[in-house]
């Protein structure tokens, strides 16, 4: 069994990206958003959140741009359908503690489904990508589309627009 994927996070980042849990490739490589079809790294560059093209193997460089990354649940899976409710409860408790300790300016939930689970929003509530009015342990909240290649709900252009909106509020 591989070791749990480590956070890339330091106190007082501009943005802490929060994923659901690592995929199997992320676990195998030891790097965040490492799936072959994941567009996270391309979106960061195209939105100008980072100044040069980087990939999953460069995740430890995120703090150079005031960015960090963590997951709600540490267990790697092929998909989120095998995650248990108790794992979310414990993961959210740990995330709250982490955000209080790190004090990022913005917590960016990478995925609308994840945001719903963490905040407790009903599945029927219409939620789009973008800034949210509530705070999460003192940090501003932003919701991003999940960049996984499995996400057919958003085109790349729609995802990029959301990441660019995030970039605008970080400057």
- Find the CATH number of the domain harbouring 110: 3.40.470.10
Per the domain annotation, does 71 fall within a domain?
yes
Lowest mean pLDDT among 35-39, 65-69, 128-132: 35-39
- Confidence (pLDDT) at 3: 55
Per the domain annotation, does 66 fall within a domain?
yes
Per the domain annotation, does 141 fall within a domain?
yes
**Which domain covers residue 76, as residue numbers?**
15-154
- Supply angle C-alpha 31, 92, 147, rounded to 5: 40
Per the domain annotation, does 38 fall within a domain?
yes
- Confidence (pLDDT) at 1: 45
Per the domain annotation, does 2 fall within a domain?
no
Per the domain annotation, does 7 fall within a domain?
no
Per the domain annotation, does 3 fall within a domain?
no
Using a pLDDT cut of 70, give the percent of the chain over it.
96
- Confidence (pLDDT) at 81: 79
Report the mean per-residue pLDDT for the chain. 92
- Supply angle C-alpha 27, 63, 128, rounded to 5: 75
Instruction: Give the Cα separation of 126 and 88 in Å (integer).
Output: 21
Pairing, β 139-144 against β 130-136: antiparallel
Structural domains in the chain (count): 1
Per the domain annotation, does 116 fall within a domain?
yes
Instruction: Give the Cα separation of 91 and 49 in Å (integer).
Output: 26
The 3 state secondary structure assigned to the chain is CCCCCCCECCCCCCEEEEECCCEHHHHHHCCCCCCCCCCHHHHHHHCCCCCCCCCHHHHHHHHHHCEEEEECCCCCECCHHHCCHHHHHHHHHHHHHHHHHHCCCEEEEECHHHHHHHHCCCCCCCCCCEEEEEEECCEEEEEECCCCCCCCCCCHHHHHHHHHHHHHHHC
Q: Which residue has the tokens 């990939």?
A: 55
């Amino acid at each position: 069994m591989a070791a749990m994927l480590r956070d890339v996070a330091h106190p007082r980042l501009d943005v802490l990206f929060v994923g659901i849990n690592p995929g199997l490739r992320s676990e195998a490589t030891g790097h965040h958003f490492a799936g072959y079809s994941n567009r996270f790294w391309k979106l960061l560059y195209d939105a100008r959140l980072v100044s040069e093209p980087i990939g999953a193997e460069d995740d430890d460089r995120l703090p150079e741009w005031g960015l960090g990354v963590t997951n709600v649940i540490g267990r790697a899976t092929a998909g989120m359908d095998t995650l248990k409710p108790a794992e979310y409860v414990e993961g959210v408790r740990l995330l709250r503690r982490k955000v209080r300790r790190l004090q990022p300016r913005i917590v960016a939930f990478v995925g609308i489904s994840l945001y719903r689970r963490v905040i407790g929003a009903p599945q029927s509530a219409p939620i789009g990508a973008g800034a949210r009015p509530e705070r999460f342990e003192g940090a501003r909240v932003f919701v991003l589309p999940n960049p996984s290649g499995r996400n057919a709900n958003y085109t790349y252009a729609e995802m990029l627009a959301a990441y660019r909106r995030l970039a605008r509020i970080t400057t």
